[in-house]
Structure 1
Amino acid sequence: MARIVISQNITLDGVVQDPTGEEGLPGGGWFNRITPGDREAWAGQESAEAMDAVALLIGRRSYEYFAPRWQSRTGAWADRLNSMPKYVVTATLDDLKWANSTPVPAEAVGGLKRDLDGDIVVNGSAQLAHALLERDLVDELRLIVFPALAGAGTRLFPEGTARSLRLRTSRTLGDSLTVLTYELA
């Protein structure tokens, strides 16, 4: 049986939206304000996570963001992302161009969890993360906390979310990032 792991870049105030500033939010672009050492450490963390995962689970909007950026890249991390199974939760896309991508309806996610063995990682995909948390399908949260306050934007935990979490690990990543890993209690 697989575990669903939500892996998110997140600000200190819980915002996951507009990390690169492309959406134009006033507090957006927080990902771009880290040091080169932080970026290198972050890339190492993300690459290792991809190597260990059995599949990627993403929402439609994240698919549309990630697919064109990764398809032409090379190197171990890109090769892994391009070759691994990707399940795209969507009701509107059916012709997915990114290799090994399969559209799945939201109600099929529980079946993926039963049918696969290992970690199914959710990157980005805030709406999908909300739905998975609401349906109690998440086993682990891996949060890379960025030293920024966005002030506004979509949060990983919307208002009204009440959950108990159990801290499994915490560590510094690079010079100013923190990796927090939680189990859902």
Structure 2
Amino acid sequence: MSEIVVQEFMTLDGVIQGPGGDGEDEEGDFPYSGWQMDYDADHFASGDGAGGANGAEGTAGDEGDGLIAEWESRTGALLLGRKTYDIWARAWGVWSEDEPGLMGEFTRRYNRVTKFVASSTLIDPSWKNTVVVRDVASEVAELKQRTDIDGEIRVWGSADLIRSLGEHDLVDEYRLIVYPVVLGTGKKLFPEGFALSRFTVAETRPLTSGAVVNVYRRERD
């Protein structure tokens, strides 16, 4: 059995849209794409972050890079919404596996694992090892019971998908890196009307950049 783990870079006001690079996700005329990478660039002179793919890019600096690398080492499969999948397929799906540092490491991992993409319209995905999910409630519940997925089922970005997962109580853990930034606009992780659910605090700790890591585990009977 695998767990559904949502990982996000998030602002104080809950925005998760377009953290990793200019032009990454400007849907709804969002003006702040790259806000997370901009923040890190202001706080670190150098780093090995692999930016620009809506979520899995490392935070700048050894501390953040090590954290993301450790989290991603547990990834057994990816579960993505259609919009996030398209962004990733144009990035991790085409980047060279020989790139140094985290970029090459993550590219190799993401090419290898199965990508489950929630979509009602995607017919012939070009990124290898991609499986289309039509019915989130039933198919994702079945995914969690499979024994051939070696690791966590990782969700990055994918705000609409996360809302659907929340409606069906399918998220086991949220791993959030919360930045001391308020944007006032953009897609939020928990928008108005998100399903009621309760979590326990599994971890909370500050990073030297000023961001705070918060990990929440689902309370289950």
TM-score, normalised with respect to structure 2: 0.76
Deviations 1:56-76 (A, max 9, x none): 100111110011111223222
Give, in angstroms, the shift of residue 93 of structure 1. 1.0
Structure 2 residues without counterparts, runs of 5 or longer: 45-58, 98-103
**How far has the Cα of 1:84 moved from its partner?**
1.1
Query: Which one is further off, 160-169 or 142-151?
Result: 160-169
Structure 1 residue runs of 5 or longer lacking an equivalent are none
CA contact (8 A) 1:27 1:149 kept: no
Q: Larger relative contact order (C-alpha < 8 A, sep ≥ 6)?
A: 1
What is aligned with 1:112? 143
**SS across alignment from 1:63:** helix
Residue 121 of structure 1 aligns to a residue whose secondary structure is strand
Please say if residues 171 and 179 of structure 1, whose CA atoms lie closer than 8 Å, have aligned partners that are also in contact.
yes
The alpha carbon displacement at 1:27 in A equals 4.5
SS in 2 for 1:138: coil
| Post-superposition offset of 1:158 | 1.0
Q: CA deviation at 1:171?
A: 1.8
Q: State the match for 1:11 in structure 2.
A: 11
Q: Report sequence identity in percent.
A: 36
Matched, 1:126 2:148: no
Count of equivalent residues: 185
Q: Residue 32 of structure 1: which of 17, 34, 37 is its match?
A: 37
Shift of 1:28: 4.2
The residue that corresponds to 1:73 in the other structure is: 96
**Structure 1 residues 59 and 25: CA distance shift in structure 2, 3 A:** same
| Residues 73 and 146 (structure 1), Cα distance of their counterparts in 2 relative to 1, 3 Å cut | farther
- Distance in 2 between residues matched to 1:57 and 1:8, nearest whole Å: 13
Q: Match of 2:192?
A: 159
Normalising by structure 1, report the TM-score: 0.90
Please tell me the root mean square deviation across aligned C-alpha atoms, in Å.
1.9
How far the C-alpha of 1:3 sits from its partner, in A, is 0.7
Distance, in Å, in 2 between the alignment partners of 1:44 and 1:73 is: 21
Question: Which residue number in structure 1 is paired with residue 52 of structure 2?
Answer: none
Larger strand proportion of the pair:
1
1:48 Cα deviation after fit = 2.4
Task: Indicate the SS of the match to 1:35.
Answer: helix
Q: Which residue of 2 aligns with 1:178?
A: 212
Within the alignment, does 1:135 sit opposite 2:155 as a pair? no
Instruction: Return the letter of the residue paired with 1:152.
Output: T
**Structure 1 runs of 4+ with >6 Å offset:** none
Q: Which moved more, 1:103-112 or 1:171-180?
A: 171-180
